[in-house]
Structures are given as structure tokens and as C-alpha cells.
């Protein structure tokens, strides 16, 4: 992956090229061995004026004439691209497949980037009516606080933990630790969410290479197996959901993934979950089954999700600390889990990690992808 952050010196194609070259070098492959390419990017048209991103990437990386497909599922674009590549390899259609995720978000004013991100919700019934994504997640937060007694300090604890992890990640956008007081004193964005409860606008790219397991073992010394990758959907507008305190698509995708992998939440050692806002991580660890519903805030406050706790959550720093170039996030999660299972997450390694999980959400929960990974060497 590239360093995540505000990259004023490079463009969309430069970012994906850097991550792509690093991925191929990691497994010792040349471009001539790649059979297909999938790339997640949410808003390249609105943010850099470039649609037809799949063809652009194949062209610039020298991978023509192989099939190259762009996938879009809002902030879950990278996770959906990963799953599609997984299905392609598992079906036997292609063997060596590259999966990329990329977004260049800082070339437009913040207002334009925010409007583009708003399209991840219901444009007609939410964005047009004035709802922002911080506003939608603030509604979830308020309901969670009402139903379960979750506090603003518990949400702040998510940000503190993730910044502490990001401070040890050389690829992270924010490599500084913060305190509960820092979060609580930051400006309000959409009450009860404050600046430090929100993920940033970010440039970045991430790439992984997929192959059938037996072939992967011949290509690289430390292959990681994807044992399950499941996707689910829900209504795009928040007002049509059965609950404001859970992401039903996450629950369904997780249930299917655990069943396919023949595993349970207690078997996961490390997980990258979608913390676009601090309340999102609290709901995610509940919906994934790591803690009981309503206990996500207390579990975070008590340190259960820290490195060395019950299950290490967002060791990369998550979207909050590492950054959130929306199309790249789902692939970055796979990169971090791979590093963790290889024992190469310098400064933030989870001791003895052998099974990991990645959870990527699109919009306010209309799409969710859950993938489970296992060390096999």
C-alpha cells in the first residue's frame, strides 16, 4: 500500500501504480503473469474527473489486454473488489488476479468531496434533504446512547485506541496519539460526533494478489488463505432500517462468513472493522459477534479491543487513524490482516495471530463485506 494521507504531489494513477508495483514485488510476479484485475474506487468521476477507471489502471500499469473491472459500492468498493476477485479465483475462471483499491480525494474542495461521499446514501431522500454522513451516524449514535447507555467518552475511547495503533504504523495518515480530553474538546460536527470521532478525507491505494492456494504456496513463502468472503445488503436510506443501532448487512454477512469458514467470533485474533465514525466501530464489534449488543462502548472503554485484549481491533489505526481513501479501505484492511498473520506488523503486532477478519461497509450500512483470513504456513 501507499502511505495514506493528503498527497499533493501525486495523482490517482500514481498511487495505484505504487501500490501495484509493491504487491507484485512482494510475491515475485511480473505483469505478464496477471490474468485479471479488479479495482475498487467510489467516486473517481466526481473527485478527479476520471470514469472508466478499470481501463485506466490496466493501461497505466501495463496490464492490457487482460480484463480489468472497476467496482463501486461506496466505502465498501475495495471490499467488494476483493470478494469479486476471490469468487473469480475460487471458480477457476482465472488463477492470478490483482485486486486494487484507490481514491484521490484532496484534489477538490472539502465541500465537493463531502457531496460526492453523500451519494453513498439515498441522494433523493437523504442528501437532497440536507442529511450528511456525520448526521446519519449521529442519529445512530444518539439511539445507541438512548438504548444502551453508551457515552461520548466511550466513543472517544475508540478514537484514542485507533490513534495509538496508527502512531505505530508508518503508512498511517495520523501518526500521533491523542487523549479522551482531546476528543471531547474537539469541535462538534453533528452532535454527539466531534471532529475526532470522524475519519478524515484521504488519498491512498492498496493492492493484493490472489491465486489458488496451492499455486500461492509456490509463488510466495507466507501465503494467507481467504477462507470466507461474504456480502450482504440493506436499505440504502436510514429511515427504512429495522434498527438504528445495528448494521443488519454486517450481521448477515458475518453469519454467512463464519458458517462458511466453520469458525466463530471467539476464534478471531485480529480484525479490521469499518470505523468511519467511532460509533460505527462500536456497532461493528457488536454486529460481528465479538461482544453482546449494547456492550461495544463498555468493551472499548475496558480495553477488550486493544492489542493484547480479547480481540485486537483496527491495529492499522482503522479508518480513523490510518485514513480513509474510500475505494482503498477494504483492500487496505486485507493488507493489514496479511501483515498481522505474517508477523510483520512492526510495532503493533498481535502475538500469535493466526486468524483475522476484515469488515468493510458501504454508506451508512447498505452494503457490508466480511472476509476471514487464515495463516497456512
Confidence at residue 30, expressed as pLDDT on a 0 to 100 scale: 86
CA 83 and chain centroid, separation:
13
From the list 39, 75, 276, 322, the catalytic residue is 75
Strand partners, 188: 194
Give Cβ neighbours of residue 10 (< 8 Å, ≥ 6 apart).
Answer: 18, 203
Alpha carbon distance 348, 274 (integer Å): 19
Quick check: 296 and 280 in contact, CB under 8 A?
Answer: no
Quick check: 239 and 206 in contact, CB under 8 A?
Answer: no
Selection from 337, 341, 86, 332 nearest residue 222 by Cα: 341
DSSP of 69-126: EEE-BTBTHHHHHHHHHHHHHHHTS-SSEEEEEEE--TTS-HHHHHHHHHTTS-IIII
From the list 94, 269, 324, 359, the catalytic residue is 324
Dihedrals φ, ψ of 188, to 5°? -75, 135
Alpha carbon distance 104, 325 (integer Å): 7
To which residue does cell 487513524 refer? Answer: 321
Confidence at residue 268, expressed as pLDDT on a 0 to 100 scale: 98
DSSP one-letter code for 4: P
Handedness of CA 236, 240, 246, 252 (dihedral sign): negative
Beta strands 367-375 and 193-194: pairing type? unpaired
Stretch (H or E) spanning 334: helix 329-342
Alpha carbon distance 235, 35 (integer Å): 35
B/e letters for 65-76, b = 16+ CB within 10 Å, e = fewer, are ebbbbbbbbbbb
Alpha carbon distance 317, 325 (integer Å): 14
Known catalytic membership, residue 75: yes
Known catalytic membership, residue 324: yes
pLDDT by 10s per residue, the chain, length 377: 999 999 999 999 999 999 999 999 999 998 899 999 999 999 999 999 999 999 999 999 899 999 999 999 999 999 999 999 999 999 999 999 999 999 999 999 999 999 999 999 999 999 999 999 999 999 999 999 999 999 999 999 999 999 999 999 999 999 999 999 999 999 999 999 999 999 999 999 999 999 999 999 999 999 999 999 999 999 999 999 999 999 999 999 999 999 999 999 999 999 999 999 999 999 999 999 999 999 999 999 999 999 999 999 999 999 999 999 999 999 999 999 999 999 999 999 999 999 999 999 999 999 999 999 999 98
Quick check: 231 and 368 in contact, CB under 8 A?
Answer: yes
Confidence at residue 31, expressed as pLDDT on a 0 to 100 scale: 85
* Structural domains in the chain, sorted by start: 12-375 (3.40.47.10)
Strand partners, 102: 205
Quick check: 232 and 249 in contact, CB under 8 A?
Answer: yes
Alpha carbon distance 85, 59 (integer Å): 19
Amino acid at each position: 500500500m501507499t502511505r495514506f494521507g493528503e498527497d499533493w504531489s501525486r495523482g490517482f494513477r500514481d498511487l495505484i501504480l505504487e501500490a501495484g508495483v509493491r504487491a507484485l514485488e512482494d510475491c515475485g510476479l511480473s505483469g505478464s503473469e496477471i490474468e485479471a484485475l479488479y479495482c475498487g474506487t467510489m467516486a473517481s468521476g466526481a473527485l478527479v474527473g476520471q470514469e472508466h477507471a478499470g481501463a485506466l489502471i490496466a493501461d497505466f500499469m501495463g496490464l492490457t489486454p487482460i480484463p480489468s473491472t472497476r467496482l463501486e459500492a461506496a466505502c465498501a468498493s475495495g471490499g467488494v473488489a476483493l470478494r469479486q476477485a476471490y469468487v473469480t479465483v475460487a471458480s477457476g475462471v482465472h488463477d492470478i488476479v490483482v485486486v486494487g483499491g484507490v481514491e484521490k480525494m484532496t484534489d477538490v474542495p472539502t465541500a465537493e468531496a463531502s457531496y460526492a461521499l453523500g451519494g453513498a446514501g439515498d441522494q433523493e431522500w437523504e442528501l437532497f434533504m440536507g442529511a450528511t454522513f456525520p448526521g446519519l451516524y449521529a442519529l445512530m449514535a444518539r439511539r445507541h446512547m438512548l438504548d444502551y447507555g453508551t457515552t461520548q467518552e466511550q466513543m472517544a475511547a475508540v478514537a484514542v485506541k485507533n490513534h495509538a495503533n496508527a502512531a505505530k504504523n508508518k503508512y498511517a495518515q495520523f501518526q500521533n496519539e491523542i487523549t479522551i480530553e482531546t476528543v471531547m474538546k474537539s469541535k462538534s460536527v453533528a452532535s454527539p460526533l466531534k471532529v475526532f470521532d470522524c475519519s478524515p478525507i484521504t488519498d491512498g491505494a492498496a493492492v493484493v494478489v490472489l491465486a489458488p492456494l496451492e499455486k500461492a504456496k509456490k509463488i510466495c513463502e507466507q501465503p494467507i488463505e481467504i477462507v470466507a468472503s461474504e456480502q450482504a445488503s440493506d436499505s440504502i436510506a436510514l429511515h427504512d432500517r429495522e434498527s438504528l443501532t445495528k448494521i443488519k448487512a454486517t450481521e448477515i454477512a458475518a453469519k454467512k462468513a463464519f458458517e462458511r469458514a466453520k469458525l466463530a467470533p471467539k476464534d478471531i485474533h485480529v480484525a479490521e472493522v469499518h470505523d468511519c465514525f467511532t460509533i460505527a466501530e462500536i456497532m461493528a464489534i457488536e454486529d460481528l459477534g465479538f461482544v453482546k449488543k449494547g456492550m461495544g462502548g463498555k468493551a472499548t472503554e475496558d480495553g477488550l479491543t486493544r492489542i493484547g485484549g480479547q480481540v485486537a481491533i483496527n491495529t492499522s489505526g482503522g479508518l480513523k487513524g490510518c485514513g480513509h481513501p474510500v475505494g482503498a479501505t477494504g483492500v487496505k484492511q486485507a493488507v493489514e490482516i496479511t501483515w498481522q498473520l505474517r508477523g510483520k506488523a512492526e510495532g503493533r503486532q498481535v502475538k500469535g495471530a493466526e486468524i483475522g477478519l476484515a469488515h468493510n461497509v458501504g454508506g451508512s450500512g447498505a452494503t457490508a463485506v466480511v472476509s476471514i483470513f487464515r495463516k497456512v504456513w
